[in-house]
């Protein structure tokens, strides 16, 4: 379950544009520090769902010939309600790394887990739920280091 290799760093390009989709509303940020301020402001909200993507510009090569216009990659998706959250990081192939916090486990009810299911029909397993504060700390670390935080465990979902 633990991703034993050092978490690969994403190419968090300086000239890329950051996209935050909060509760299905898209906002773009030209700089990572502006995005970080925005994410900090979301933490005070009682509930929400945010996905962060990077728009790396026009697609080149074969993908461009196939009609793809922009090179967009997903960084992570975070959903929270009350004290609980679920956090899924992505790699450049859009595979999922579901965050698990063995250091500070939480025990949400089935109903509470259902509120952080990230669009899934069934609630995530209890181990895939985190405390909201720890989830926000993890995304701050991700923005700072450019990789999934090493202090969490991850369940890989291709």
Does residue 5 surpass a pLDDT of 50?
A: no
Mean pLDDT along residues 58-72: 70
Domain membership of residue 118 (yes or no) is yes
70-83: pLDDT as tens digits: 889 999 999 999 99
Find, among 87, 91, 82, the residue nearest to 127 by Cα: 87
Q: Which domain holds residue 90?
A: 17-157
Contact between residue 146 and residue 140 where contact means Cβ atoms under 8 Å apart: no
For every residue of 59-91, DSSP letters joined together read --THHHHTT--EEEEEEEEEEEETTEEEEEEE-
Domain membership of residue 142 (yes or no) is yes
Mean pLDDT along residues 63-72: 69
- The first and second tokens of residue 36, run together, are 């970080």
pLDDT for res 108: 98
Does residue 62 surpass a pLDDT of 80?
A: no
The residue with greater pLDDT, 10 or 114, is: 114
pLDDT for res 68: 65
Q: From CA 87, how far away is CA 24, in angstroms rounded?
A: 17
Mean pLDDT along residues 21-28: 96
Q: What whole-number percentage of the chain has pLDDT above 70?
A: 85
Give the chain's domain count. 1
Domain membership of residue 104 (yes or no) is yes
Domain membership of residue 152 (yes or no) is yes
């Amino acid at each position: 379950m633990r991703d034993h290799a050092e978490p690969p760093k994403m190419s968090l390009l300086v000239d890329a544009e950051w996209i935050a989709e909060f509760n299905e509303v898209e906002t773009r940020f030209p700089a990572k520090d502006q995005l970080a301020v925005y994410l900090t402001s979301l933490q005070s909200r009682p509930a929400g769902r945010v996905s962060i993507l990077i728009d790396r510009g026009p697609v080149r090569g074969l993908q461009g010939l196939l009609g793809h216009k922009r090179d967009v990659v997903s960084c992570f998706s975070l959903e929270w309600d009350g004290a609980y959250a679920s956090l899924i990081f992505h790699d450049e192939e859009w595979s999922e790394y579901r965050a698990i916090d063995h250091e500070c486990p939480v025990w949400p009810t089935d109903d509470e887990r259902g509120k952080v299911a990230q669009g899934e029909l069934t609630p995530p397993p209890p181990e895939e739920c985190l405390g909201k504060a720890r989830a926000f700390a993890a995304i701050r670390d991700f923005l700072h280091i450019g990789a999934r935080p090493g202090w969490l465990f991850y369940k890989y979902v291709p």
